[in-house]
Amino acid sequence: MKETYKNASRILLKFTSDKEAKLRYGAKLRIQMQEAIGRGESPKGYRIDWILKTVSDLFALLGEKAAEFNAAHPQDAVSADDLSDVLATAQAKLKSPRQR
């Protein structure tokens, strides 16, 4: 029994300290979320809660940046397409091999 606890502890330690294992676990959760969406369900759990909160924070930041741009350039105005460009550029940068 003592050996079982040692093995379980080693596995748990590896899982909590191994970055690649964590990334694989996150990928598995993302697949589960995508499958739930595909079935017409709303995903549940801490990961979707974090995503939705981060989206809300991101939109607040984009609103602030748009207001700053509009104040600095009264002859111009930020559009939804401009904000889409910001997000697309950020996504491309995030997926760039240099960022990994």
Kindly report, residue by residue over 64-79, the tens digit of the pLDDT.
999 999 999 999 999 9
* 94 or 3, higher pLDDT: 94
Looking at residue 28, its pLDDT comes to 95
Q: Helices marked H in 1-100 — which ranges?
A: 2-17, 19-38, 46-72, 80-95
User: Contact 50/43 with Cβ under 8 angstroms?
Assistant: no
Looking at residue 17, its pLDDT comes to 74
Looking at residue 65, its pLDDT comes to 98
Q: Is the pLDDT of residue 63 over 70?
A: yes
Q: Which residues contact 66 (CB under 8 A, 6 or more apart)?
A: 78, 82, 83
Give the model confidence (pLDDT) of 6-43 as tens digits: 777 777 666 667 888 889 999 999 999 999 999 999 99
Q: What is the three-class DSSP state of 9?
A: helix
